[in-house]
Amino acid sequence: MTISQKSEDKGSKEYTDIIGGNGWFQIVICIFCFFCAAAHCLHDFTMTFFAPNMDHWCARPPEVIRANVSVEEWKKISIPLAESRTGDNTYSQCTMYTNFTQNGSLYPNTNASIIKCTSWEYDTSVYRDTMVDE
């Protein structure tokens, strides 16, 4: 051990003598920091639970809902495929075909013109109600 190391050890001991090691002050500071960090975590995770990324598509018209058409059938018949950000082909989230009924029944018509959605349905398999769908 060199002389400089001995003086550093002596200095460290002097500081801990002044501070007093692990006492009530350190416990109070740790508890205070814990509660501050817990509140900060809740603030950070708010958007994860209140506004998650939810899959959505054009809403089914009332007559289609009355006809008991499932969401998957609705998507296949009336929503065009579009390329997603990852390059996959997925159902469009903002457009649908104009004419998807004929004589009161649904039929796929990929040659029909495409219009923008006026209302949306959301995937509720993970989250039931969020700020996004309200």
Task: Summarize pLDDT for 86-102 with one digit per residue, the tens.
Answer: 888 888 888 988 866 65
Whether the CB-CB separation of 123 and 56 falls below 8 Å is answered with yes
pLDDT at 32 over 90: yes
Instruction: Tell me the per-residue pLDDT of 76-90, one tens digit each, with 9 for 90 and over.
Output: 888 888 887 888 888
Whether the CB-CB separation of 92 and 56 falls below 8 Å is answered with no
Residue 8 pLDDT level (bands cut at 50, 70, 90): low
* The predicted structure's pLDDT at residue 116: 92
Q: What 3-state class would DSSP assign to 102?
A: strand
Does the reported pTM lie above 0.85?
no
Long-range contacts of the stretch 42-51 (C-beta < 8 A, 24+): 50/130, 50/131, 51/130, 51/131, 51/132
